[in-house]
Amino acid sequence: MVSNLPKENVWDYPRPPAIEPVQAHLRVIYNDVVLADTTSALRILETGHPPTYYIPPKDVKQEYLKHNTKSTYCEYKGLASYYDFNPPDGQPVVTSRIWSYGNPSGTNGKYGDVKDYFSFYVGPWDCYVNEEKVEAQPGDFYGGWKTKNIEGKVNGGSGAWSL
């Protein structure tokens, strides 16, 4: 599939990261369950990383999510909380592949717009930007979604972190 998005190089993204509205249709699908479906997402762009997408809570099927005790800290956004996904089809629980910021910090409140939005690592579900199925950013530490229009060597990879 040819991407209908403009070319972007990850090394042109800023540091500290930028936040912007997404002009695309995002979906997260597990088997036949649509976990998220939105045209109102935000994305964070950081040097060396494909975009990380944040989906408004109203567009996420939260009945399948359960807050867990895991947390991580981002120097820009603050403390992230993680969620487990309980598949409705009786499959095993998927742990800590979804996160959000309940009280994002940041430069002059810059990241406050992602408050309570959800972000999904790619897998075990499929993630889409418009109709393009995305690839995961290498490694399990970063949650970037790589589409065909994203250019440049991205950070991550073997040894970046393991959930």
Summarize pLDDT for 32-52 with one digit per residue, the tens: 999 999 999 999 999 999 999
For the segment(s) 9-149, the CATH number from 2.170.150.40, 3.40.50.150, 2.40.30.10, 1.10.3330.10 is 2.170.150.40
Q: Are 18 and 32 in contact (CB under 8 A)?
A: no
The answer to whether the CB of 45 falls within 8 A of the CB of 18 is yes
Cis peptide bond upstream of 16, omega within 30: yes
- Helix, strand, coil share (%) of the chain residues, nearest 5: 10, 40, 50
Q: Where are the domains of the chain?
A: 9-149
pTM above 0.75, yes or no: yes
Task: Assess contact for 148 and 2: CB atoms under 8 A.
Answer: yes
pLDDT tens per residue, range 141-160: 789 999 999 999 999 865 44
